[in-house]
Structure 1
Amino acid sequence: MQFRDLRKQYELHKSDFDAAIESVLQGTDFIHGKKVVELEKKLAEYVGVKHCITCANGTDALQLALMTWNIGAGDAVFVPDFTFFSSGEVVSTVGAIPVFVDISEETFNINPKKLEQAIKKVKTDGKLVPKVVVAVDLFGQPADYQEIKRICKEYGLLLLEDGAQGFGGRIGTKKVCSFGDISTTSFFPAKPLGCYGDGGAVFTDNDEWAALLRSLCVHGKGEDKYDNVRIGMNSRLDTIQAAVLDVKLGFLDEDLEACDKVAKSYSEKLNGSVGVPEIRNSYFSAWAQYTILLKDSDERDKVMKALKDEGIPSNIYYVKPMHKQCAFVDTLYTVDDYNVTTDICRRCLSLPMHPYLEEDDIRRITDVINEAVK
């Protein structure tokens, strides 16, 4: 059994993938080829924003956004304590200070009440200038943007949406990667929309920022790549990856609907035995992960062993809170006790999730879990 079955996806769409890759090989426009330009237009239309700028990976996408806003030394950037490392890493990379904020147990996303408390504390302390909130659409469910946007407006902060795990998700009809002043995503293979290597994208409605992002992606270019008007990066999506993503975008919504059915079946069979994900009213998750909560770390170990004994994969996202990462020890700015994140890191477990899980597979997985926690 596969945790995220990319082989099955390839087999089902093999002729389309092979033809798309072959067309790039024949055209030999491997960097910034025609397919990249076409994909950016399609992605912007899909999300519902004016501009999409592709780049080399999701981490670069986040860093490019902070560089566009000239975030640096003395600035505070608020980041959920429960997320992948890059959400905070890029803050330190540009010289700013990540301020980690606890999450809501029900959604795994940043807790707006704790966010506002953190902003107030930083402003009162006066050591840093609050500048940006990074809201992560963790495991596929959008963050609480209604409340987060209110907070950003009240305190004059920019909103950076990290939609790496949420691409294709939505609140009502509004898509993930359209909520931030700048939004980003990752095309890492296991993401809801993933390529066959690394890739990422940045989204915005701001014309000036879009032009700056395109410059920063290519060594701070001006009129051309040999006219360098600022310090930038070398961060480009190659044409083969764009061709793969173009094919996948065509069946993305179909796959996401299938994942939603898988998630509902999981929840029906597990509810009462373990903690199951709660999707907010009018929210649609892209289901990058299906994550359950066990009673404690001992019960999680017991369930993982039972699953492994039956040849069923599982993963822990994430083992360690951001505020416990050694990389931040010299710059850690503590504003909270992080009780929820610390607790969830001890109890969370992610199960196989992809569109091709059959009902028999789901029943087999859930039977093992239910028996293990009896």
Structure 2
Amino acid sequence: MNIPLIDLKAQYKSIAEDLDRVTKEVLSSAGYIMGKNVTEFEKEFAEYVGVKHAISVGNGTDALVIALKSLGIGEGDEVITTPFTFFATAETISAVGAIPVFVDVEKDTFDIDPSKIEEKITSKTKAIVPVHIFGQSARMDEINEIAKKHNLKVIEDACQAVGSKYKGRNIGTLGDVACFSFFPTKNLGCAGDGGMIVTSDDDIATIARALRTHGSGENGQKAYNLLNNITEEVATVQNADDTVYNPLKYYNYLIGYNTRLDAIQAAILRVKLPHLDRWNARRREIAKIYDEKLKDTNLVTPVIKEENEPVYHMYILQSEDREAMLSKLKEKGVATGVYYPVPLHLQKVYKNLGYKEGDMPVAEYLSHRTFAIPVYPELTDEQVDYIVDAIKK
């Protein structure tokens, strides 16, 4: 038996009729940029998360960049985050001219350790970016308390955690702004790249909308006024059309970006969103089987905090002899993945920041031991049993 780490073809087959239908509808409409599917998906996603505003963008990385810029974070500012995550979390901080300041993680949950944050705060610190890694929430109460004490902004990197909860509250509602990714392998994935910024702050939403489209048009003017403390009414044009011709786009107020969610991707995501909770529930069901059947092995299974409802973007095991385990599982046809082999503070690109081996001992420990096994919702019970059996053997 050969079992991939994630099977996108299986998910497509389960909803193929609807996906094919909406894709053809968008193609035949010739409305490829912005338009009804994008605005409707933004409304539906905002309602799902429980926020006032959802601003779609081209990918999760752009979402983080624009979120940072919308909060006024830039050259010389410091932003605290985790070294045990995908590179984009730190890369986006650098992309806006700020400096990522790394704080070690918790050994059991892999999330940033709140007890180590305050010692890294300086007069230049402007924000904290916790990552809800592998689909489990960081300890947001402690993080928000620290942020409030030091007048810092909180940006949730929720790119791996769509649908998860913390103390009954939806991920994405726990900071000033949050960012999601719809990369195809995510729990809610499109057929390409896509991302979303969510917030309940009207001003942040306005600036984010302006930045995603070259700082132009009505939102560009509104954002310019907000950033420069100008109070004036901005006229609204109802018939502006981004697909063919929108005269407003030739009036620019900020240096922004060109990062929009394609209409086809929005249509696909609208089909998938109603299935998300069911898919996440199946992931938890599979994880529970793994927890129970692997508890007597020498592998360390994931630790889930009582206050969290995770979505298992990845099911992560720890092994003292990871390479041998991965080799054996490959022989058995079970795909695995290593997340993450080099913590961010030791990446060559950040050599200038002066970190050295031993500075983040927990992240470094985990980078040599963690690996993922399949947990996607389309796995059959037979496949799950085969994976467990292969691991035990």
TM-score after normalising by structure 2: 0.90
Aligned residues of 1:98 and 1:332 also touching (Cα < 8 A): no
Aligned to 1:316: 338
After superposing the two structures, state which structure 1 stretch, 68-77 or 100-109, moved more.
Answer: 68-77
Kindly tell me the number of residue pairs found equivalent between the two proteins.
361
Aligned residues of 2:127 and 2:154 also touching (Cα < 8 A): yes
Matches within 5 A, 1:1-374: 1-119=3-121, 123=122, 129-223=124-218, 224-273=248-297, 274-295=299-320, 299-332=321-354, 337-371=359-393
Partner of 1:329, secondary structure, is helix
After superposing the two structures, state which structure 1 stretch, 174-183 or 356-365, moved more.
Answer: 356-365
Residues 195/332 of structure 1: CA separation in 2 closer, same or farther (3 Å cut) = farther
Report deviation, 1:305. 0.8
CA deviation vs aligned residue, 1:106-132 (integer Å, no higher than 9, x gap)? 11100001112222xxx2xxxx60101
Q: Within 2, Cα distance between the matches of 1:116 and 1:367?
A: 45
Report deviation, 1:92. 0.8
Report deviation, 1:336. 7.9
Residues 247/47 of structure 1: CA separation in 2 closer, same or farther (3 Å cut) = same
CA deviation vs aligned residue, 1:75-132 (integer Å, no higher than 9, x gap)? 110110100000000111111110011000111100001112222xxx2xxxx60101
Residues 31/135 of structure 1: CA separation in 2 closer, same or farther (3 Å cut) = same
CA deviation vs aligned residue, 1:120-152 (integer Å, no higher than 9, x gap)? xxx2xxxx6010100101000011101111111
Report deviation, 1:334. 7.7
Aligned residues of 2:105 and 2:113 also touching (Cα < 8 A): yes
Q: Within 2, Cα distance between the matches of 1:205 and 1:271?
A: 42
Aligned residues of 2:182 and 2:195 also touching (Cα < 8 A): yes
Q: Within 2, Cα distance between the matches of 1:101 and 1:171?
A: 21
User: 1:101 is matched by which residue type in structure 2?
Assistant: V
Aligned residues of 1:97 and 1:333 also touching (Cα < 8 A): no
TM-score after normalising by structure 1: 0.94
CA deviation vs aligned residue, 1:31-64 (integer Å, no higher than 9, x gap)? 0021000000000000000000000000000000
Aligned residues of 1:76 and 1:131 also touching (Cα < 8 A): yes
- The answer for unaligned runs of 5 or more in structure 1 is none
Q: Within 1, Cα distance between the matches of 2:335 and 2:357?
A: 36
Q: Within 2, Cα distance between the matches of 1:275 and 1:141?
A: 17
After superposing the two structures, state which structure 1 stretch, 275-284 or 83-92, moved more.
Answer: 275-284
Partner of 2:352, secondary structure, is coil
Structure 1 vs Structure 2 CA RMSD = 1.4
Q: Within 2, Cα distance between the matches of 1:245 and 1:133?
A: 29
Q: Within 1, Cα distance between the matches of 2:157 and 2:253?
A: 28
- The answer for unaligned runs of 5 or more in structure 2 is 219-247
CA deviation vs aligned residue, 1:10-35 (integer Å, no higher than 9, x gap)? 11111111111111011110000210
Partner of 1:292, secondary structure, is strand
